Amino acid sequence: MSSVDAIVIGSGPAGITAALYLARSGCSVMLYEQMAAGGQVLQTAELENYPGFPKGIKGYELADLLSAHLEGLNVTRSSEAVVEVSGHAGAFTVKTSKGSVTGKVVVVCTGAHHRRLGVTGESWMQGKGVSYCALCDGNFFRGQPVAVVGGGNSALEESLYLAKLASKVYVIHRRDAFRGARIYLDKLEAMPDKVEIVRSSTVTALHGDNALEGVTVTNVNTGEERRLDVQGLFIYVGFEPGTAFLPAAVERDAQGFIVTDAEMRTNVPGIFAAGDVRAKLCRQVITAAGDGATAAQAAFVFLEQLHA
Ligand code: NAP
């Protein structure tokens, strides 16, 4: 079994930054990436709010740049799913689908995955009209009407993307007020021919025998039902953290996100968490990268104390 100073789990902006900073501090690093580097950035068409890119940057371009930044550093990268973390500070074992590695510290940067809406038929209709990724599937609905569920930045941003492809976009949100940024809502409201915002409504039924043909939305105040004949339903109702492989001793909040202090330390010495996987207010690429840098610095200090 090979052994390194630090094991970083997850290769989105938080994980790549943590690996970058740790390696530049002289640590040997194992970086586990379940798929390609970039995490959720890869599913984002365009980032408009990442400082330094005033004209915006495509998600895949930023992911490529993040990944390239690790070239030439003492970072071993492996595409394996981590299934278990055990041990203690100075001697953690990270078990994957293919083997095990030991590390003195672990930095968890596994982000979060899309929450399910919970409507009947959602599972079997995934890939038959129901989607969680406009960038991946939007093109299938070119010229057709689609609906987006959710009121956060993801729903609003992806509705703007879909408005370029679909004949019509219904944005269905369970409340009147939106959680997402005003700038996105303004842009959507400026396209009344293309975009209809369906407020205070939930999706209560999916229709179609072999693929999605329509949805029923129900107004939460009046109970009034309305059918929307859409072929695509894009669900953006938040994220759930990916922490199943961690010991139960690592503290989580009520939603399952990892609780850390300001230095990204969890309650278990030697385990740090950074990015969307941890409990925090602001989930952005920039804050994920910032978390990764802080976690790396805190892990480096911890390693020095271990060796002292
Ligand atoms: P989010 O901010 O948690 O919003 C989830 C939305 O889904 C909320 O509007 C919520 O409604 C709604 N919702 C939750 N469960 C629902 C259900 N069962 N049925 C119907 N609606 C439901 O999630 P997100 O939009 O995916 O964003 C996640 C994080 O990434 C946020 O911190 C966000 O700011 C960030 N992000 C930022 C950008 C950007 O800045 N460009 C882009 C994407 C994401 P309520 O509002 O009523 O709770």
Closest by Cα among 272, 165, 38, 257 to 148 = 165
% helix, strand, coil for the chain, step of 5: 25, 30, 45
**pLDDT score recorded for residue 220:** 98
Task: Please tell me the residue having the least CA distance from ligand 1 atom 43.
Answer: 154
CA distances (Å), origin 111, targets 15, 95, 105, 207, 300: 9, 19, 18, 32, 22
Task: Write 87-90 long-range contacts (CB < 8 A, 24+).
Answer: 88/269, 88/270, 89/269, 89/270, 89/302, 89/306, 90/270, 90/306
Report strand pairing: 100-108 vs 2-9: parallel
Tell whether ligand 1 has an atom less than 6 A from the beta carbon of residue 287.
no
Please write the tens of the pLDDT for every residue from 149-162: 999 999 999 999 99
State the distance from the centre of ligand 1 to the C-alpha of 238, rounded, in angstroms: 4
CA separation for the pair 148, 132 (Å, rounded): 10
State the distance from the centre of ligand 1 to the C-alpha of 225, rounded, in angstroms: 24
Q: Does pLDDT of 1 surpass 80?
A: no
Check: CB of residue 116 under 8 Å from CB of residue 122: yes
Share of residues in the chain with pLDDT > 90 (%): 90
**pLDDT score recorded for residue 36:** 80
Q: Which of 47, 115, 154 to mutate to test the pocket of ligand 1 (most atoms within 8 A of CB)?
A: 154
CA distances (Å), origin 12, targets 108, 119, 170, 247, 256: 11, 30, 30, 22, 19
Residue 236 sits at the vertex; the CA angle it makes with 231 and 242, to the nearest 5 degrees, is 130
The mean pLDDT value for 93-107 works out to 96
**pLDDT score recorded for residue 77:** 96
CA separation for the pair 55, 74 (Å, rounded): 33
| Mean pLDDT across the chain | 95
Please write the tens of the pLDDT for every residue from 27-84: 999 999 987 888 889 888 888 889 999 999 999 999 999 999 999 999 999 999 999 9
Nearest-atom index, ligand 1, CA of 112 = 28
CA separation for the pair 191, 197 (Å, rounded): 10
Q: In terms of pTM, does the model score above 0.75?
A: yes
Q: Which residues are catalytic?
A: 133, 136-137
State the distance from the centre of ligand 1 to the C-alpha of 158, rounded, in angstroms: 12
CA separation for the pair 51, 28 (Å, rounded): 30
